Structure 1
Amino acid sequence: MKRQKRDLTSRAYQRGYRVGLAGKSKELCPSNTTESTHHWLTGWRQGRSDFWDGYQGVSSIHCAPNIP
């Protein structure tokens, strides 16, 4: 559990993916650091792509990057 909390880049990617999958704007990026912002936007782009491909709800589970 502690290791998961320390990996900020992975958490940023997962959060960005969730926002993108929900169809929300990338302007919601909460990150302050450049590296964290990069990973958040990468996740957002992947989530947005899955959103456009129709992966929503239960159908997106196999695409999701370790979403708890």
Structure 2
Amino acid sequence: MAEKGIFAGLPWWVQWVAVPVVVLVVFGSLIMSVLGFVIGLLFKALLLVVLVGGLIFVVKKFTSSSSSRGDW
């Protein structure tokens, strides 16, 4: 298999080890900040869903108990 391009004639480890390491060193902080932002956003969205669900549960529980109490 003859590869034509920038990696032609170089050992396999250059393409599969050295280049990804260089990319991680150069762009590592950017990748980590984007990853941290996405994880933080997912956590906040999950927290929002839990809080809204809990609020709806509490409101329904109190409104159903107060309407049944109002019948006496």
**What TM-score do you get using the length of structure 1 for normalisation?**
0.32
Structure with larger Rg: 2
* Higher relative contact order (CA closer than 8 Å, sequence separation 6+): 1
**What TM-score do you get using the length of structure 2 for normalisation?**
0.30
